[in-house]
Structure 1
Amino acid sequence: MPLEAIVFDLDGVLIDSEPVWEEVRRGYVASHGGRWLPDTQQRLMGMSTEEWARYIATDLVDGVTAEEVAYTVIDEMSQRYAEGPPLLPGAVEAVRRLAAYRPLGLASSSPRALIDLVLGQLRLDVLFRAAVSTEEVDAGKPAPDGYLTAAARLGVPAEDCVAIEDSGNGLRSAHAAGMTVVAIPREAHPPSDDALALAAHVAKDLDELTPDLLAAL
């Protein structure tokens, strides 16, 4: 099938934000006398705002609402990003290189406010023709909703898109949407072997992302 568009994830692909998310949410749970479980971070990766806020309020902390969790955590993340998001090496160059090749979309589990903040700070917002937060769809990753919506907003079939992902839930989401998936695993939170097996290519970093590579997939 022809390659018509490229859809990036944000957290863990363009910015090294997963450690920040973990620190902020873990700190919230600790400050409210909650319990952070061994699998909590892996479970949270890919969830929409509604999903992770509800999980924290229901399973980890007593006496708070999901709305209170979301407001406090997102406000803290915005403050952390105020001086610039934790950009990953080669991110800006990769976006610019691929934007000159095919239309770009974004399918992120971050809330819309943080997506807009990050892309604006990096001056990449004009290069993405469609950006979707899983706040805006029925289900977060590993459900395919975010990727399917990004493809629809780009006006192309999902099966004609390449997705760039790092997490297990993200890989499952893009694959379930019918996209060809390139994985760029993060050492701190590597995807499971079965999730990684869904990728058509596993790259070591963003510098590997070239038009020639994606065309060959």
Structure 2
Amino acid sequence: MRWPTIRPRERATHAGATLSTAARSASRSSVPSSSAQRRAAVATRAPTRSHTSSTSRGPSRCTLTGSRYIGVCKGLGVTLRATLFDMDGLLIDSEVLWHRAEHEVFGRLGVVLPADLRATKGMFVEEVVAYWRARQPWSGPSDAAVVAELLERVGDLVEGEGRLLPGALRALDLAEACGPLALASSTPTALIERCLDHFGLRGRFEAIHSAEDEPYGKPHPGVFLSAAAALGVEPTACLVVEDSAAGVLAGKAGRMTVVAVPVAEDRGAPAYALADLVLASLDELEAAWLDARFA
């Protein structure tokens, strides 16, 4: 995962990122028929629910208190209409692949990295490259060239060894039955699309937005606010599904309902206390919880 620090940044310069933001938005302006058809099919076998109103209602109480839930929902009294998913570490098991790519690419430059890479966790890939150049300078490739090589290597690893995390497809199915989906990630757009295409997921999302097109990254809510706008849904009517603490903070800063799915070692981070529901994996997401929120 690449979670950025809060500060303005320039657009990423990487291989394949040649489309302008406007051009990318235009190319996604139509609703994929597959998404609409899937929701229509679900609607014929499930009780009708409205996606056209975010009118406040009385606070709901989550009664799903099984041991699998490591957090509980907070009734916010809103009706949800759309779901915004993160990608790396939530849908795709990519953290280990990022680490491998960094060790390989920086190793060829003579840079010795620590095993856990905790010092650069939360940074954009451009910031990671700048961080290591400042500490272990190398001669030869420019920062932009190293960024491009890293992104290309991660893409190769995802296509060769990547896998979806447990419950990812089921979570997409459950959320899509309730309303439109968007993907909002800090990963550069070209790599997002390469990963989604590999797993056959691009058509599941009616909007795809990268934080590379925002002046600030998570925990700033910009990437989620832009994704909501692309769907034509008010932020307060959006559900965010995230694995990172920065993503949880971004969703709550955008006044959205948040489901957090942290890795075990991060579960104690204070930010997760802000989430409306905390799960150990996407396998634990229940249709009843969504029905209560989208009803």
TM over 0.5: same fold? Answer: yes
CA–CA distance in 2 between the matches of 1:191 and 1:143? 21
From 213, 217, 222, the equivalent of 1:136 is: 213
Richer in helix (by share): 1
Cα distance, 1:26 vs structure 2:
2.9
Is the CA contact 1:7–1:161 (under 8 Å) kept in the aligned structure 2? yes
Paired positions, count: 215
From 178, 194, 199, the equivalent of 2:270 is: 194
Cα distance, 1:50 vs structure 2:
3.6
CA–CA distance in 1 between the matches of 2:104 and 2:198? 26
Relative to structure 1, the CA distance from residue 181 to residue 58 in structure 2 (aligned partners, 3 Å threshold; closer, same or farther) is farther
Give 2:233's aligned residue.
156
- 3-state SS in 2 of match to 1:105: strand
Comparing 169-178 with 55-64, greater Cα deviation is found at: 55-64
Ranked by relative contact order (alpha carbons within 8 Å, sequence separation 6 or more), the top structure is 2
CA–CA distance in 2 between the matches of 1:142 and 1:60? 28
- 3-state SS in 2 of match to 1:132: strand
- 3-state SS in 1 of match to 2:146: helix
Give 1:18's aligned residue.
95
Relative to structure 1, the CA distance from residue 192 to residue 30 in structure 2 (aligned partners, 3 Å threshold; closer, same or farther) is farther
CA–CA distance in 2 between the matches of 1:161 and 1:201? 14
- Equivalent residue letter for 2:278: V
CA–CA distance in 2 between the matches of 1:150 and 1:140? 13
CA–CA distance in 2 between the matches of 1:14 and 1:60? 33
Relative to structure 1, the CA distance from residue 95 to residue 160 in structure 2 (aligned partners, 3 Å threshold; closer, same or farther) is same
Is 1:103 paired with 2:158?
no
- Equivalent residue letter for 1:209: L
Comparing 29-38 with 136-145, greater Cα deviation is found at: 29-38
Residues 141-163 of structure 1, C-alpha deviations (whole Å, 9 max, x = no match): 22222111111111112221111
Comparing 83-92 with 1-10, greater Cα deviation is found at: 83-92
Cα distance, 1:35 vs structure 2:
4.5
Relative to structure 1, the CA distance from residue 78 to residue 61 in structure 2 (aligned partners, 3 Å threshold; closer, same or farther) is farther
Relative to structure 1, the CA distance from residue 19 to residue 60 in structure 2 (aligned partners, 3 Å threshold; closer, same or farther) is farther
Give 2:198's aligned residue.
121
RMSD: 2.3
- Equivalent residue letter for 1:5: A
CA–CA distance in 2 between the matches of 1:111 and 1:20? 16
Moved over 6 A (4+): none
Is 1:204 paired with 2:275?
no
Give 2:104's aligned residue.
27
- Equivalent residue letter for 1:54: A
From 64, 84, 89, the equivalent of 2:166 is: 89
Give 2:289's aligned residue.
213
Is the CA contact 1:92–1:124 (under 8 Å) kept in the aligned structure 2? no
Relative to structure 1, the CA distance from residue 103 to residue 58 in structure 2 (aligned partners, 3 Å threshold; closer, same or farther) is farther
Relative to structure 1, the CA distance from residue 182 to residue 111 in structure 2 (aligned partners, 3 Å threshold; closer, same or farther) is same
Which stretches in structure 1 are left out of the alignment for 5+ residues? none
From 49, 65, 74, the equivalent of 2:142 is: 65
Is the CA contact 1:92–1:122 (under 8 Å) kept in the aligned structure 2? no
Cα distance, 1:43 vs structure 2:
3.8
Relative to structure 1, the CA distance from residue 211 to residue 33 in structure 2 (aligned partners, 3 Å threshold; closer, same or farther) is same
Which stretches in structure 2 are left out of the alignment for 5+ residues? 1-77
Is the CA contact 1:141–1:173 (under 8 Å) kept in the aligned structure 2? yes
